[in-house]
């Protein structure tokens, strides 16, 4: 048997990488829930392709697509009533 040894070094993400990932996630989550579309806009790619599973009034599920502009619009128009309804549905 022949064993090959490699001297190359592998690097994981840095502390700075981790902080940037956290900042991006918080901008998305907190921006969405506080109607701060500027935070969402800052860290979402213009070619966003988000998939959402939706349930209609008859109980049927369907896959829905959401793009960049639709997400920003949703962020601007999300209301407390909508948030409360979504939280109630998640608890069911």
Give the pLDDT confidence of 8-33 residue by residue, as tens digits: 677 789 999 999 999 999 999 999 88
List the structure tokens of 50.
């988000």
- Kindly state the average pLDDT of the residues 44-70: 92
Domains in the chain: boundaries: 15-91
Q: Compute the distance between CA of residue 21 and CA of residue 41 in angstroms, rounded to an integer.
A: 15
Model confidence, pTM: 0.63
Which are the contacts of 24, defined by CB distance < 8 A and separation ≥ 6?
43
């Amino acid at each position: 048997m022949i064993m090959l040894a490699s001297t190359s070094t592998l690097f994981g993400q840095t502390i700075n990488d981790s902080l940037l990932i956290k900042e991006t996630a918080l901008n998305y989550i907190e921006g969405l829930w506080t109607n701060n579309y500027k935070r969402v806009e800052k860290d979402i790619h213009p070619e966003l392709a988000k998939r959402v599973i939706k349930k209609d009034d008859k109980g049927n599920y369907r896959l829905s697509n959401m793009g960049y502009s639709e997400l920003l619009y949703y962020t601007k128009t999300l209301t407390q009533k909508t948030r409360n309804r979504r939280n109630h549905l998640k608890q069911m």
